[in-house]
Copies of this chain bind each other. A is one copy, B any other.
Amino acid sequence: MEILRNIYAEDLEDIAIGGAILGTGGGGDPYIGKLMAQQAIRKHGPVKLIDVDQLADDALVVPVCMMGAPTVMTEKLPQGDELMNAFRALENFLGRKIDAVLCGEAGGVNSTTPFVVAAASGMPLVDGDGMGRAYPELQMVTFTMHGVSATPMVLCDDKGNSLVLETVSNAWTERLARAATVEMGGSALLAFYPMSGAVAKKAAVRGTLSLCSRLGRTLRETRAAHGDPVRAIADMLDAQIIFHGRVKDIDRRTVGGFARGSARFDGVEEWKGHSFRLDFQNEFLMAERDGKLLVTTPDLITLLEAESGNPVTADSLRYGLRLVALTFPSDPQWLTPAGIDLVGPRYFGYDVEYLPFSRNCGGHEKVS
């Protein structure tokens, strides 16, 4: 098997930053996942990152994730062992050795959690994921659109409790896993969507872990060279800068295991006199400028600190922060009717259609 590259503990710094950019404000604090992954790699050795095409068609591939409200995760640092417990329990249940680890969600904490399992198990990690970003519910993966069942799935907590779920739909898996996660204290570890190599090749969003790594490196190197980190990230992602402003107010609450709310911004510099609003359910899902809807899920909306280019989560939004909003198109799989059904604005309760990215944002980089 050809290895793309070996991932060492220090490489996780870039990957975690890139994961926070693709996290679109949600997906949990990448700092936690980074620490877990670094600890596992220092103990067990580097992770072998492979292209999805390196998988045998009959290989058994299993994604891993943390589940829960990001605000809770930051208070409950999980041990790497729990992820391995979920993984091994699923292996036992399936009665078959797993051949490779996959990333469920290449955004936020879950861009790094698969490295824990890959390091501890010695298994290769596939360079790709099931979202190309972060999303709040577990059925919101490209795997669902390819008919892959989330179950058999194992869900573990930090106390030693575990569940094996077998359900009639991925939406039911989300409901039952969410209820268990809330009961377990707000976060849990999952091994789910067991699939063949053949299916992974069709379903996975490719290259997202490498993309995370490149994004983190670009940010780091641009800062070291006293360049413009926001511009460098926008260029790399082919993203549009849709606002530059200060946080004016934030409305945030935790509902049913989700961090929901909205944030409003007053423009500065080229956007002075303009207003901007983001709605989030863990992730930033909708952006409005001067009262007009501009971007909707599944396209990605990311906030970067104006000076440092560091990504900012919905959790860490504070009054007065000066931020730049970027948007860039989602993986094309999300733009199919099935994709829009799973993660479009209506699923999240917004009474609008998906706004195709190019129509709204193609010519809006600067209006002043």
Contact = CB atoms under 8 A, between A and B. Distances in A.
Interface in A113-165: 159-165
Interface stretch (A171-179, A208-216, A328-336): A171-179
A175 B159 CA distance: 13
Interface in A242-261: none
Interface of A: 89, 93, 159-168, 172, 175-176, 178-180, 182-184
A180 B172 contact: no
> How many copies make up the complex?
2
Given A93-B93, A159-B172, A160-B167, 7 more contacts: A161-B172, A161-B176, A163-B163, A163-B165, A163-B166, A178-B183, A179-B180
Contact of A165 (B93, B162, B167, B178): B162
A345 to B, nearest CB: 26
B168 A160 contact: yes
Contacts of A162: 165-167
Contacts of A89: 166
Contacts of A182: 179
Contacts of A178: 183
A90 to B, nearest CB: 11
A172 to B, nearest CB: 5
A187 to B, nearest CB: 15
A301 B242 CA distance: 69
A167 B183 CA distance: 13
A3 B357 CA distance: 74
Nearest to A95: B95
8 contacts: A89-B166, A93-B164, A160-B167, A160-B168, A163-B163, A163-B166, A175-B183, A180-B180
Contacts of A159: 168, 172
A168 to B, nearest CB: 4
A165 B166 CA distance: 12
